[in-house]
Structure formats: structure tokens, C-alpha cells
A and B are shown apart, each in its own frame.
Chain A
Amino acid sequence: MSTAPTDRKYLETHEWHQLSGDTVVIGITQFAADELTDITFVQLPKVGDQVQANKAFGEIESVKATADLNSGVSGTVTAVNDELSSNPGLVNQDPYKGAWMIKVKVTNPAEMDRLLTADQYLQKVGH
């Protein structure tokens, strides 16, 4: 049984987005981390890079599979979680907190309205 905190919004491709002020923090869900199994590598953009809504901003790899990391919002990357390069397994252990991936200063916070709520997301993944 997967969980999804209700204080953030989701993409069907399993990324969570938490808005505070004009910044959105992005990571992946417990369900996605469990499905990927042991994560071995996370490729993230650099501070200053642009991300676009519904486009990939990075890649994640596990012993089993490789997947794109998608953003639900557009903007500029203001911070990157460097710990994930040395400890990618943190995504399996703490996907909603310690394993946040990037912070994006958004150009249009209303893009968040188009994303799924926690309930809608959990329904999509069959929980």
C-alpha cells in the first residue's frame, strides 16, 4: 500500500510537487521508488538550468530499469539535491523528504492547478 502526502500535487508519471511561495520542490513518489527497486543513479540538471512543464529534467536508474524524471511546472532550477549523487538509495528510503530532487522558481504557479491531488494520484496507480 503506497502513501502520498496531501500537502503536494502529482504527475501521473510519479513526480510530487510541493509549492511554497514561488518555488516548487520536486521528487518522486514512494510507489515509483518501490517499483524501480534499488536506485543506483540519479541524473539532475544544474542550478540555473530551465525546466519545462511536462518535459524530462533528468533520469533515474535502478538495478531493474531507467526512467525519465518529469516536471509538472516550468521555471528555473534554484537548488539541486547533491546528496543523491553519492547516495541514490536515499530515494528508496525517504522519497518524500530527504530525497527531494530539485527546487524550481516557477514562472506560472497556476501550473500547479493542473496537477493531480494525492487522492487522484493514488487512484491512478491503483491504490
Chain B
Amino acid sequence: MLKRTPFHDFHVSAGARMVEFAGWEMPILYRSIVEEHHQTRRSGSIFDVSHMGRLCFRGLDALRFLDHVVTRGLADQQVGQSRYSLVCNEAGGILDDVIVSRAAEHWTMVCNASNREKLVTWFSAVRAATGFDLEITDNTESTGMLAIQGPKVIDYLAPVMPFDLRELKRYHFLTESYMLVPFTVFRSGYTGEDGVEVVVPARVASMAINLLGGRLAGPDAVIQPAGLGARDTLRLEAGMPLYGHELSEQIDPISAGLGWAVDLNKEFIGVQPLREIARCGSRRRLVGLELEGKRIARQGLAVLSRGVPVGQVTSGTFAPTLQKSIAMAYVEAEHTADGTALQVDLKGTLNPARIVKLPFYRKGR
């Protein structure tokens, strides 16, 4: 039985096509992936991201515990601040990529839907092994989460927020209440555009989605619903990794280009092997590829240099904004200089590609 988010009725009434994703019934699109992609870059879109895990850490040792399980240093993190981080296993392999936020009395973590149960089990085991004193609760199913993304989102939402949204800095959040209902607004997202992510109690979901731009106000509306399909093409253009594609337990954060989110000067699970990789350099690296022509490089396809396999594609699409065939791939380190000419094996046809800097798309350019 698939889980439904608190916005399910909205999706049905908006004519979404629903698909299974990580055990959830989610909208893949409402009208067209490409149209929803353009709407996000041009104006604004509202995405249901309630399937993402929302965990809460509370207690005497919450900070010490989190500092032990995530790669980023948290001791200097201020109340109201969020940080992107990784959770690694003992070998330095990535268990998940997460956003850790510090509230006055507790910490929260947003994790991937597909990794939520794995992380809860992992954290319980680590807590038992270390004896840290804290309580971990999973609020995923008692809350809903919406991402509202696009260049016009902040100005559109500012009047409906009970605080000055324009003053909320990137990677910061605020918890407020609206008619006695608590909600949290994060200035973050996964599309390469400015915007917010909002967590609300599940019981007020339909009110919240209407207030935040989900009203079906026709094709000219500033904010329109968008599905997981556009979310994927948007994040790929923005060069953002996706767990199960660019990230896995077989990949370490340094090879994934996420060294900036790893604090090798602190102790945490997986730090020893990561120090070793940082010292010796990683064998393979995540790169951006631009393919000649319109064919798409899908996950798992071989990347070659002069006919010799040197890597593998992790994600690819025909980028709606850039109008180019783009992909991310792991490639042996000696072939990763910008501009390097490579080939992608499309069922026996070697399609020319070259390495380009990530991200493929940066807003305002």
C-alpha cells in the first residue's frame, strides 16, 4: 500500500499523473514536465515534497550526536540556520545527503524518502552504541512539506507571511504561527532558483497549499503546481546530486564533489577513510557532460575516452532551459579536465561529449 501525502486531494483535483516513488504516491506531472520546468525558471512552481523524511533530535546530547553522524561541523551553527551535510558509514560511503537545521530547543533533519527508514535504524544503532542522551522522532507522516521555487516566489509570498520573508537569508529558517498553526519556512530548495520550503502540520495541508500558491488560478498564475519530473530536470540543470544516482554507499563525498560539506578537522563516523581519500586524491570524480546532438545519456551508460571505458553516467536529460543534452557521470580522475573530449556509449553508438563545469545552469545568467 503506497503512502499518500496530506496534499493528495489537491493533486487529484489538479489533474496530476500519480506515480510510485520510494513507497509514496507522488505527482510526476500535472501538464507537462517541460512546461513545469519553464514555469519554475520563469515565474514560480509549488512542489509537494512531503515524501522527504523529517526527523527531530532533542535532548542533552543532540548536538554531540549529530556532530558524530554528519560530515559538517555543527558546533558553530546558529539557531535559525540550516546546513547541507552528508551521513556516512564507517567506510566513508554516503548513507544519505541531508539538511540539518538548528532550532532553539532541538535540531531537525530533512533526508531522502528512500533513505528514511535506513537512517532511523542507523541513528538508533549509533545512539545505542555511544550512549548519547537524546530522543529521535520521525515527524514525516504528521507533517507535510511544500517547496515553492522560482524568481517571483519571494515577492509573491512576502505579503502572506507574518514576517519579512525578504529578510530571511539563504539557508536560514523561521518557525512562526498562523492562526495558532505552527509552520516552518526555510529559504532553500532543489531547483537552482530562489524560493522556500515550508513544513506544516498535516491537518492544515489543504489550507496551506492554497495560501502558498497552489490555487488553480489558470495558466497565467504566478505560481503553478509542478511534479517530480520537473524537479528532476531542474536539479540536474543546477548540477545538484540525487541519491541513487550521483550518491550511494559506494560513493564518498569527496569523489562526489561535496568536499566542501565535509569537515575533516572534526571526528565523525567515516572520517578516517575520507582523510585518506583527501590526502591521496579520489580515483574518480563527478563531472558534467554536454553531449553533441539530442540523444540522452541515461544512468548506467559507459563513458569512454578514445574507445576505452573511463566512467559511467549517473543522470542525464535533455535540458529544457539550456536546450542541450546534459549528463552527470563518474569519470577516472585523469580524464576530468574541463573541455576533455569523451564519448558516451548509446547502445553501441559512440556519441561525442565533453566535460563542462557544474552547474550547467546558474540563475540570472
Contact = CB atoms under 8 A, between A and B. Distances in A.
Interface of A: 34, 37-38, 40-41, 61, 63-64, 66, 89, 92
Interface stretch (B51-59, B69-77, B145-153, B291-299): B291-299
A38 B28 CA distance: 12
Contacts of A92: 32
A37 B233 contact: no
Contacts, number: 34
Interface string B159-192: 0000000000000000000000000000000000
Interface of B: 17, 28-29, 32-34, 229, 233, 294-296, 298, 317-318, 320
For chain A, what secondary structure do more than half of its interface residues adopt (helix, strand, loop), or is it mixed? mixed
A113 B32 CA distance: 36
A92 B31 CA distance: 11
Contacts of B318: 40-41, 61, 63
A63 B34 contact: yes
B32 to A, nearest CB: 6
Contact of B32 (A38, A61, A66): A38
A66 B317 CA distance: 11
Contacts of B320: 63
Q: Which 6 A-B pairs have the closest CB atoms?
A: A40-B318, A38-B34, A41-B294, A37-B33, A38-B33, A63-B317
Given A37-B28, A37-B33, A38-B32, A63 B233 contact: yes
A38 B34 CA distance: 7
B34 A66 contact: no
Contacts of A89: 34
A121 to B, nearest CB: 20
Given A37-B29, A37-B33, A64-B229, 4 more contacts: A37-B32, A61-B294, A63-B233, A89-B34
Nearest to A61: B296
A52 B33 CA distance: 34
Contacts of A66: 296, 298
A41 to B, nearest CB: 4
17 contacts: A37-B28, A37-B29, A37-B229, A38-B34, A40-B294, A40-B318, A41-B294, A61-B294, A61-B296, A63-B33, A63-B34, A63-B229, A63-B233, A63-B318, A64-B229, A66-B296, A89-B34
